[in-house]
Amino acid sequence: MLLESILAYCHILAFMSLTVFVASQAALCRSDWANAAAIRRLAVLDRWVTIFAAAVLLSGLARVQFSVKSAQWLWGQPLLHIKITLFAIMVGLGIFVHRDIRRWQRNLDATGILPDAAALNRTRRLVMVEAHVMTLIPIAAVMLARGVWVR
């Protein structure tokens, strides 16, 4: 029980941290705030998003493996698969965001040119979709924990 509690804490903390950094990306990725410092800050935030996305995944897998409920039972639950699918969608969107931010940083370092407003707005839209998809994951988690729609 202690291990499961610690893993649950780590998973929730990682998810909350991921939320903070995705929200920070959304706030900073604005064309009217675009300057060299903002682009460099976005690159730093992107690293933290990557770190905490990995932490969410690893702590989640550890929770499944070391849960009081059997891993076999958990893998058979549709809500777990919904959570994983939503997380995969977030990661997929995050890859596009990561690619854009890295390109902006390389261009800034090489030429001093900032991304245009259309590129910033397109990337911000991806971050916002990512953030909204993220809000659905805790619903599936709570329902699974409470035995809703379980097999």
Q: What is the CATH number of the domain that holds 44?
A: 1.20.1420
For residue 136, tell me if it sits in a domain.
yes
Give, in order, the Cα–Cα distances in Å from 70 to each of 122, 141, 151.
Answer: 43, 16, 13
Count Cα atoms within 13 angstroms, Cβ side, for 2: 0
pLDDT-derived band at 85 (thresholds 50, 70, 90) equals very high
Average pLDDT over residues 8-23: 98
Do the domain assignments include residue 150?
Answer: no
Residues 6+ apart with CB under 8 A from 19: 131, 134
Q: Which of 115, 136, 122 is nearest to 93 (CA)?
A: 122
Confidence of residue 124 (pLDDT cuts 50, 70, 90): very high
- Average pLDDT score over residue span 18-42: 97
Between helix 137-145 and helix 78-111 the angle, nearest 10°, is: 150
Cβ 101 vs Cβ 46: under 8 Å: yes
User: Residue 6 pLDDT more than 90?
Assistant: yes
- Single-letter amino acid, residue 150: V
Q: What would the mean pLDDT of 71-94 be, rounded to a whole number? A: 97
Does the pLDDT of residue 88 top 90, yes or no?
yes
Q: Indicate whether 1 pLDDT > 90.
A: no
Q: What is the pTM of this model?
A: 0.94
34 assigned to some structural domain? yes
Which ranges of the chain would DSSP assign to H, the alpha helix? 2-28, 36-65, 71-75, 78-111, 117-134, 137-145
**Lookup: tokens for 88:** 């995969």
In this prediction, residue 80 has a pLDDT band, given cuts at 50, 70 and 90, of very high
Max distance between CA atoms of the chain, in angstroms, equals 57
pLDDT score at 70: 93
Q: What is the mean pLDDT of residues 91-101?
A: 98
Domain count, the chain: 1
The whole domain housing 49 covers: 2-145
With tokens 């639950």, the residue in question is 77
The answer to whether position 151 is within a domain reads: no
Q: What mean pLDDT is reported for the chain?
A: 97
